[in-house]
Amino acid sequence: MRIVNFRTGRELRLGLLMGNRILDPLTAERLEPKEAAWFSSTVDFIEAGKPALTLATSLLDDGAGEWREVSEVTLAAPIRPTTMLCAGSNYRAHNQEKANTPLSGVEPEFFVKTADCIIGPGESILHDSLLTTKLDCETELAVVVGRSGRHIPIDKALEHVFGYTIVNDVTARDRQVRRSPGGTVWYDLGRGKAFDTSAPTGPVIVTADEIGDPQSLRLSTRINGELRQSSSTAEMIWSCAEIIHFFSINFTLRPGMVIITGTPAGTAWSNDPELGGHWQPAPGLVPATRYCLPGDVIECEIEKIGILTNRIVEAPAFATDVPAPAPHY
């Protein structure tokens, strides 16, 4: 099953995607009030568990409710968790192309992004030159938690997964990579990773049953049509199950939480000797000659999920208008 969020005017709705059409489950006349509540948001749908999935399947099979063409609506991020748990330095080839800290590849990097970082498909990534002049993009498989748990065993971890989506881990490299006068490298994963529009997410959540083995998915990044990253989740150092176990030691994982799992080789960082990058050529990849700039179009693709596309735009010089809080989904 493929879950989306879409807007018609100002209203945000949960939808079930089939091909190029979206079923709006709340328009199905046969829903009881309790059942309608399951479809009020992505988190509510996930928390409702198997009964909600069974009903959603029935609605799709029956064609109950109103259908909309994808081209007629605006897709939003399929979920907006308050905290996105992030594991970095999780692909061997990526670690070979960049400056590393003493713990790189020894244990997962641990950082977070917040709901304020998240944008949806088609929304703009802000290039804020007061924050960074080295804006980089990374395609990552994201795990959407479906069942609560703490200290989750590795062999049981995938039982806690609702589904998977795509996240672009947009990064301010000149904020992330720091060096001491003695040459020691460390990462500032706060300012380097968490800022406005640094977590494009979507376009859909695909339920775990349709993904199967999360360690056998092809993923790629294209910037202005050039193939920058191309790899497989099989190249992860720590599997999705191991990362779920890792984060569950710190947090009780709850339905709707999102975990991102690292990125492969091919980032712009790999061609930046100033920050310790050292390009490792791979067949078919186009090395970056610069970091991302306004006008660039980023396409993040993962097998069985789809393509997340965003354009980079120049941030306003003075952002004095504060928008209303984003809806919970």
Tell me, yes or no, whether 324 lies in a domain.
no
Q: Could you say which of 76, 110, 132 is where a domain stops?
A: 76
Tell me, yes or no, whether 72 lies in a domain.
yes
Percent of the chain residues topping a pLDDT of 90: 79
**Cβ-based burial of 270 (10 A; exposed 0-12, middle 13-18, buried ≥19):** buried
Residues 99 and 123 in one domain: yes
Residues 56 and 162 in one domain: no
Tell me, yes or no, whether 323 lies in a domain.
no
Tell me, yes or no, whether 322 lies in a domain.
no
Tell me, yes or no, whether 17 lies in a domain.
yes
Q: How confident is the model at residue 31 (pLDDT cuts 50, 70, 90)?
A: very high
Q: If we measure between CA atoms, which residue out of 255, 256, 237 comes closest to residue 246?
A: 237
Residues 26 and 170 in one domain: no
Tell me, yes or no, whether 20 lies in a domain.
yes
Q: How confident is the model at residue 8 (pLDDT cuts 50, 70, 90)?
A: confident
Interatomic CA distance for residues 248 and 148, integer angstroms: 10
Output Rg (C-alpha) for the chain, integer angstroms. Answer: 20
Q: Please compute the mean of the pLDDT values over residues 112-141 and round it to a whole number.
A: 97
Residues 186 and 249 in one domain: yes
Q: Nearest-5° angle of CA 280, CA 281, CA 283? A: 145
- Containing structural domain, residue 15: 2-76
pLDDT exceeds cutoff 90 at 56 = yes
Residues 164 and 36 in one domain: no
Tell me, yes or no, whether 321 lies in a domain.
no
Residues 101 and 41 in one domain: no
Tell me, yes or no, whether 71 lies in a domain.
yes
Residues 264 and 161 in one domain: yes
User: In CATH, what number is assigned to the domain containing residue 101?
Assistant: 3.90.850.10
For 141-155, how does the pLDDT look when each residue is reduced to its tens digit (9 = 90+)? 999 999 999 999 999
Number of domains in the chain: 2
Residues 98 and 31 in one domain: no
pLDDT exceeds cutoff 80 at 328 = no
Percent of the chain residues topping a pLDDT of 70: 94
Residues 68 and 87 in one domain: no
Q: Please compute the mean of the pLDDT values over residues 243-265 and round it to a whole number.
A: 97
Phi and psi at residue 147, in whole multiples of 5°?
A: -130, 140
Residue 88 has a pLDDT of 87
Residue 284 has a pLDDT of 93
pLDDT exceeds cutoff 90 at 25 = yes
Residue 84 has a pLDDT of 97
For 196-223, how does the pLDDT look when each residue is reduced to its tens digit (9 = 90+)? 999 999 999 999 999 999 999 999 999 9
Residues 200 and 247 in one domain: yes
Q: Could you say which of 54, 76, 98 is where a domain stops?
A: 76
Interatomic CA distance for residues 88 and 109, integer angstroms: 5
Q: DSSP secondary-structure letter at 284?
A: T
Residues 198 and 173 in one domain: yes
Instruction: Give the residue, 118 or 325, on which the prediction is more confident.
Output: 118
Q: How confident is the model at residue 320 (pLDDT cuts 50, 70, 90)?
A: low
- β-strands 66-69, 21-24 pairing: antiparallel
pLDDT exceeds cutoff 90 at 108 = no
Structure-block tokens of residue 183: 């040459």
Q: Nearest-5° angle of CA 67, CA 68, CA 72? A: 175
For 172-201, how does the pLDDT look when each residue is reduced to its tens digit (9 = 90+)? 999 988 877 777 777 888 999 999 999 999
Q: Please compute the mean of the pLDDT values over residues 273-286 and round it to a whole number.
A: 89
Q: Could you say which of 76, 101, 133 is where a domain stops?
A: 76
Residues 117 and 196 in one domain: yes
Structure-block tokens of residue 189: 């994963």
Interatomic CA distance for residues 105 and 103, integer angstroms: 6
Q: Please compute the mean of the pLDDT values over residues 258-262 and round it to a whole number.
A: 97
